[in-house]
Amino acid sequence: MNYQFTIETFSREELQDITHIVETFVANSSVQNGLINVYAQGATSGIMIQENWDDSVQTDVVNLLKKLIPNGVWLHDQQDGNGDSHLKAGIVGPSETIPIINGKMGLSRWQNIFLCEFDGPRKKRPIVCTIIKDQ
C-alpha cells in the first residue's frame, strides 16, 4: 500500500522531521510486521534517519554537507545554480526503509526520519511511503 504527502520547506537547506506523519501511515495500515519505505520524489532532496534528541545534529549535517559540497563550483551550476543540491541529494539518497515490528516502526529511541531539503524553500516536496506486509 502506498501513501503520499507533501511537505513545505522554508530554507535552502534543512532537515525536517517527518516521523509523526509516517507513524500515522503505519498505524492506519494495520500491518503488524513488514517494512515501510519512505521515498522523496525530487532530485535535490533526500531522506535520512538521524538523531531526534538534539537539533544541533541536524544543523551539523547541513553544515558538514555545505563544507564537503560547496555551492557555486559545479558544472551544473551554469544551468540553474543548484549543482551542490544534486550532489548532496545523491550522497544522502532518496529513501530509507524501516522495519515494522508489532505494528510500530523499528526506530530506536533516538532515531527519527527527516526530509533533507537541499534546494529550497519549496511549497511542496512530495514523499511516497510504501508499506509491505510480511507473509
**Nine-digit cell at 23?**
507513524
Domains of the chain: 2-133 (2.60.120.460)
Distances from the Cα of 129 to the Cαs of 22, 65, 74, 81, 125, in angstroms?
A: 7, 26, 32, 30, 13
How open is the CA angle 42-44-50, to the nearest 5 degrees? 95
The strand pairing partners of 65, in sequence order, are none
pLDDT at site 47: 98
Interacting residues of 116 by C-beta distance below 8 A, sequence separation 6+: 14, 15, 40, 45, 46, 47, 48, 61, 88, 89, 92
For the stretch 17-76, pLDDT in tens is 999 999 999 999 999 999 999 999 999 999 999 998 888 999 999 999 999 999 888 878
pTM of the model: 0.95
**Nine-digit cell at 113?**
526520519
